[in-house]
């Protein structure tokens, strides 16, 4: 079939997301998939039991538009306990169909034509298209490999009258870096007295390594009052396919957010929400995630240490960046595809997260996998 008239694409430069492309290629070549970020192990049995209970209970119809209230209450309690913030569960939290829709809704609800939104590249690939669909402009600040550190003086130079939003992401996907309290202080200085809204993508909040603390904007009242904070249950409970996340924002921002959410998603899978509300009571499950993933990080790093890949620092997330510049001078997309076809291991090329495809010969591996998977993958790529 073909649409009979000429179609003027709203996103002419957007193709299929790299996560779908690489996962499909991995499948086609029967490769170990370390590309798209998702665990290859099952969620906690107690969580599955809660799902079954909810299904057999009376929870099979629409959840409230903003989300199952006990779940929002547990999220508010957690925000208070971990970040010292007082969040109103009724008016300042909305349950979303994952982190990506939460980001999309936040952008759609406040960005207008010609508004500028500052992003840090390598930037998660949904940010810029969401901005551009509103008629806004994505302004890329390119973080430099291998440190991917933010120079706030340079960010300052990107700010002008049209700057409406800054999107931060900590721990950062794909670089694995984290923002520190000094970064938060700089961001606070930079936005003081302005109308700039922040999206703080914190979906990897419980995957921070080496005893470091996750710096949430929620811990900084001056930032929290201008922020949409994004959370994800998929990352924390090994359930990326359930697609449940949330957004926390001050009442007036959340009010705008819900105007969009109600006509897009309306409400999210009720069963999963009831189960997450129960499981959030078990604090140890999210508190032990740091060390759970740190072991995997260390295992994977050790396994490829003697290869010709150069490992970059990994302070958080379940992603490890490596440079392959000693192995090949191919472009990263070509290298990642060839590695999938010939070595049977798929990874994500990092250049796709830059506006102008800045290519530093760096690829991203996901280590949210069983040790055996990581071992087999390491054996295959160590021969490169």
Binding mask 124-163 for ligand GLN (x = CB under 6 A): ----------------------------------------
Rounded Cα–Cα distance for residues 268 and 271 (Å): 9
Taking the least distance from each CB to ligand GLN, the nearer of 173 and 340 is 173
Q: Does 231 bind ligand GLN (CB under 6 A)?
A: no
Q: Does 96 bind ligand GLN (CB under 6 A)?
A: no
Query: Which of 37, 39, 101, 122 contacts ligand GLN by CB under 6 A?
Result: 37
Rounded Cα–Cα distance for residues 167 and 129 (Å): 13
Binding mask 173-192 for ligand GLN (x = CB under 6 A): x-------------------
Residue nearest to ligand GLN (CB): 37
Assign 177 to helix, strand or coil.
coil
Asked if 364 and 39 touch (Cβ cutoff 8 Å), the reply is no
E runs forming strands in the chain: 32-33, 93-96, 116-121, 137-142, 163-169, 197-201, 227-232, 245-248, 310-311, 319-323, 345-346, 348-349, 362-366
Least distance to ligand GLN from the beta carbon of 177, Å?
15
Q: List, edge to edge, every strand of the sheet that includes 163-169.
A: 93-96, 245-248, 227-232, 197-201, 163-169, 116-121, 137-142
Q: Does 36 bind ligand GLN (CB under 6 A)?
A: yes
Asked if 218 and 248 touch (Cβ cutoff 8 Å), the reply is yes
Taking the least distance from each CB to ligand GLN, the nearer of 163 and 317 is 317
Least distance to ligand GLN from the beta carbon of 239, Å?
13
Least distance to ligand GLN from the beta carbon of 36, Å?
5
Rounded Cα–Cα distance for residues 74 and 276 (Å): 9
Assign 20 to helix, strand or coil.
helix
Rounded Cα–Cα distance for residues 209 and 299 (Å): 14
Q: Does 19 bind ligand GLN (CB under 6 A)?
A: yes
Assign 137 to helix, strand or coil.
strand
Least distance to ligand GLN from the beta carbon of 322, Å?
16
Least distance to ligand GLN from the beta carbon of 27, Å?
14
Least distance to ligand GLN from the beta carbon of 124, Å?
7
Least distance to ligand GLN from the beta carbon of 8, Å?
26
Asked if 244 and 95 touch (Cβ cutoff 8 Å), the reply is yes
Q: Does 24 bind ligand GLN (CB under 6 A)?
A: no
Site residues (CB under 6 A) for ligand GLN? 19, 36-37, 100, 173
């Amino acid at each position: 079939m073909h649409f009979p008239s000429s179609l003027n694409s709203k996103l002419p430069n957007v193709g299929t997301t790299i996560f779908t492309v690489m996962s499909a290629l991995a499948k086609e070549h029967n490769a170990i998939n370390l590309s798209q970020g998702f665990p290859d192990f099952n969620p906690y049995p107690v969580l599955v039991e809660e799902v079954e209970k909810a299904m057999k209970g009376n929870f099979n119809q629409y959840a409230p538009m903003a989300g199952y209230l006990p779940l929002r209450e547990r999220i508010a309690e957690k925000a208070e306990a971990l970040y010292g913030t007082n969040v109103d569960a009724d008016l300042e939290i909305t349950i979303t169909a994952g982190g990506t829709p939460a980001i999309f809704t936040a952008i759609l609800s406040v960005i207008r034509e010609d508004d500028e939104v500052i992003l840090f590249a390598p930037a998660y690939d949904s940010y810029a298209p969401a901005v551009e669909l509103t008629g806004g402009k994505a302004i890329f600040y390119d973080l430099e490999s291998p440190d991917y550190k933010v120079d706030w003086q340079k960010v300052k130079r990107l700010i002008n009258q049209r700057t409406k939003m800054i999107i931060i992401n900590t721990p950062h996907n794909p670089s694995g870096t984290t923002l520190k309290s000094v970064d938060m202080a700089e961001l606070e200085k930079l936005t003081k007295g302005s109308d700039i809204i922040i999206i703080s993508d914190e979906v990897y909040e419980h995957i921070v390594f080496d005893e470091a603390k996750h710096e949430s904007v929620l811990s900084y009242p001056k930032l929290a009052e201008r922020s949409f904070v994004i959370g994800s249950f998929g990352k924390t409970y090994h359930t990326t396919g359930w697609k449940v996340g949330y957004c926390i924002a001050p009442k007036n921002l959340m009010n705008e957010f819900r105007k969009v959410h109600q006509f897009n998603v309306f409400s999210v899978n009720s069963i999963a929400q009831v189960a997450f509300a129960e499981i959030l009571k078990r604090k140890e499950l999210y508190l032990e995630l740091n060390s759970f993933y740190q072991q995997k990080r260390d295992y994977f790093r050790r396994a490829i240490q003697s290869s010709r890949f150069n490992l970059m620092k990994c302070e958080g997330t379940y992603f490890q960046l490596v440079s392959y510049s000693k192995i090949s001078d191919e472009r990263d997309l070509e290298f990642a595809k060839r590695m999938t076809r010939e070595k049977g291991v798929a990874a994500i090329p990092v250049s796709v997260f830059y506006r102008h495809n800045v290519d530093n010969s760096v690829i991203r591996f996901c280590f949210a996998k069983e040790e055996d998977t990581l071992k087999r993958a390491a054996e295959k790529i160590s021969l490169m």
